[in-house]
Structure 1
Amino acid sequence: MDNRPVGVFDSGLGGLTAVREIMNILPSENVIYFGDTGRVPYGGRSRETIIKYARQDVQFLQSFDLKAIVIACGTVSTTAMDVITREYTLPIFGVVDPTARRAAGATRNGKIALIGTQATVRSGAYERLIQKWNPEAEVRAYPCPLFVPLVENGRFRRGDIVIETVASEYLKPIRDWGADTLVLGCTHYPLLMDVIGEYLGGGVVLVNSGVEVAADLKRQLRIRDLTADPGQSGDCCYYVSDSVEGFSQLASVFLNRDLSDSVEKVDIEKY
């Protein structure tokens, strides 16, 4: 058993969808979450900038005595994962591999669509891994740059004309193509599942990267004998790089529970 916390980071609040799943399936684990809200979104940045930000995020989390880190950010997982895992000895897990594996096994007609940030789509990481697990699959990737800022501003509910208009523009080529599986290649996107599901119809499987990375974390902790004492109740500490005002209200939506824990601001440029 190992009661040290797991660190989780994302470019903003999106990684809280992964934290929610971790809390659900690993209720004994302590979690330290960092959301880089002052620099969100990462998706339109250069590879060099994304790597720089990822290094700073990891350095901050390593100021705690952690047993593992989850990169709950599709952009970092696809763009900087190779660099980060080479530079640090701590076990580090990203969203891409478990999500790609799930999508490869879920498709029935071999047509898999991916939506993500511009950096995620540019990397080609999901396509390579999906075709590794299912060589017969055809994968098409679609950048959705407006989804993250809209979600970060609370515009993700059905009936919101802004998000529904943007979603229909982004998703129409996917519906027209006839994909039966859609990878939500950013941890912000699970908040849009109702909007996306309604537009695409019930026959399309939506693969939630937050769910998949949480399940992978559970498996990896067991393999490494790093699981927490099952008798304890885990908690979560939250850190952000911008104002904490308003974070708790929106974070409660991401977590699907009231956020009673305190939130602290961090000067991430120090790391």
Structure 2
Amino acid sequence: MSIGIFDSGIGGLTVFKEIAKEFPLADIYYLGDTARVPYGNKSPETVIRYSLEAAGYLAGFGIEALIVACNTASSYAIDKLRDNFDFPVIGVVEPGVEMALRHTKNGKVGVIGTQATIRSNSYKNLLEKKDIQVFQKPCPLFVPLVEEGITEGEIAKLIVKEYLDELIEKGIDTLILGCTHYPLLKNTIHQLYPHISIVDSSQAIVEFLHEHNIIFKGTGKRKIYITDEAESFKKFKEILVGNIPVERIDLSQICSL
């Protein structure tokens, strides 16, 4: 079985890595839309258009399922994607909520993400249906921080504290990393707040696939595509998934410029 994964850039590789590890026989096609990253500061209409274009490109490989490894796209485009494609479309929001519900002991959950993801209230709405207190915070500097490779050290700690101290003071015991870039800051977050349970989208989605008995079998093919050259992508690709070749495709292959 072949699966497509798309994200606006680096972050979705955290999902790629976990799925490749858990389903070694799956054929996986990844698209990082690096020419148009980030999606988090775009309008809902633009996010939907970009998502349909990315999914349409991956559909050309005959994929049998699509994982939207982008919280912003999962928040705004998931219904449109399901309406437009016959294969299952799995976002990262529902798996993240399910994992948070299992982790929280005091019913207070923090959610961090891009401006667009937080504005959508996608996590908040689902969690509040389960009588969970939700405290949200957009963290717009986290994506460029990760893209620049500054995931540990004093600068990373200062920026993480600037955003997260406010949520910690609310008494949360669980924190949802509502952007697939953010797991690359997980070590720093854990060092600063070791008592907090961290919900990582990449792990949440693998658990979701297992719990819903979704099994991928194929030949173990791995293909990664990007829409623009990005040094940060190459660097973190090597760290996260090793020497899988990266092929740049022209943006005109995805959309009308």
Interval containing the TM-score (normalised by the shorter chain): over 0.9
User: Greater shift after overlay, 237-246 or 27-36?
Assistant: 237-246
Answer yes or no: is 1:227 the counterpart of 2:220.
no
C-alpha distance in 2 between matches for 1:64 and 1:209: 25
Deviation per CA, 1:95-124: give whole Å up to 9, x if none: 000110111221111110000000100001
C-alpha distance in 1 between matches for 2:102 and 2:53: 35
- Residue pair 1:155, 1:162 contacting (<8 A) in 2 also: yes
Q: Which amino acid is the alignment partner of residue 229 of structure 2?
A: S
Report what 1:93 is aligned to.
90
Q: Which amino acid is the alignment partner of residue 147 of structure 2?
A: E
Report what 2:226 is aligned to.
240
Deviation per CA, 1:119-167: give whole Å up to 9, x if none: 10000110111223x22x100110001111111121112x1x3222211
Deviation per CA, 1:62-117: give whole Å up to 9, x if none: 11111111000011001111211112111110000011011122111111000000
- Residue pair 2:117, 2:178 contacting (<8 A) in 1 also: yes
Answer yes or no: is 1:213 the counterpart of 2:205.
yes
- Residue pair 1:238, 1:264 contacting (<8 A) in 2 also: yes
Correspondence for 2:156 among 139, 160, 163: 163
Report what 1:196 is aligned to.
189
Q: Which amino acid is the alignment partner of residue 248 of structure 2?
A: K
Correspondence for 2:172 among 142, 167, 179: 179
Report what 1:266 is aligned to.
249
C-alpha distance in 2 between matches for 1:79 and 1:110: 26
Instruction: Using the TM superposition, give the Cα deviation of residue 244 of structure 1 relative to its aligned residue in structure 2, in angstroms.
Output: 5.7
> Which runs of 5 or more residues in structure 1 are unaligned?
none
- Residue pair 1:26, 1:218 contacting (<8 A) in 2 also: no
C-alpha distance in 2 between matches for 1:14 and 1:211: 13
- Residue pair 1:106, 1:205 contacting (<8 A) in 2 also: yes
C-alpha distance in 2 between matches for 1:178 and 1:208: 20
- Residue pair 1:244, 1:264 contacting (<8 A) in 2 also: no
Instruction: Using the TM superposition, give the Cα deviation of residue 246 of structure 1 relative to its aligned residue in structure 2, in angstroms.
Output: 5.7
C-alpha distance in 2 between matches for 1:98 and 1:42: 20
Q: Which amino acid is the alignment partner of residue 227 of structure 1?
A: F
Report what 2:144 is aligned to.
149
C-alpha distance in 1 between matches for 2:37 and 2:16: 18
What's the TM-score once normalised by structure 1's chain length?
Answer: 0.89
C-alpha RMSD over aligned residues:
1.6
C-alpha distance in 2 between matches for 1:244 and 1:119: 23
- Residue pair 1:41, 1:149 contacting (<8 A) in 2 also: no
C-alpha distance in 2 between matches for 1:145 and 1:22: 27
Report what 2:235 is aligned to.
249
C-alpha distance in 1 between matches for 2:237 and 2:91: 21
Secondary structure of the structure 1 residue equivalent to 2:247? strand
Report what 2:9 is aligned to.
12
**Could you list the runs of 4 or more consecutive aligned residues of structure 1 that deviate by over 4 angstroms after TM superposition?**
none
> Which runs of 5 or more residues in structure 2 are unaligned?
none
Report what 2:44 is aligned to.
47
C-alpha distance in 2 between matches for 1:269 and 1:250: 25
Secondary structure of the structure 1 residue equivalent to 2:198? strand
Alignment of 1:9-88 (within 5 A): 9-88=6-85
Q: Percent same amino acid among aligned pairs?
A: 39
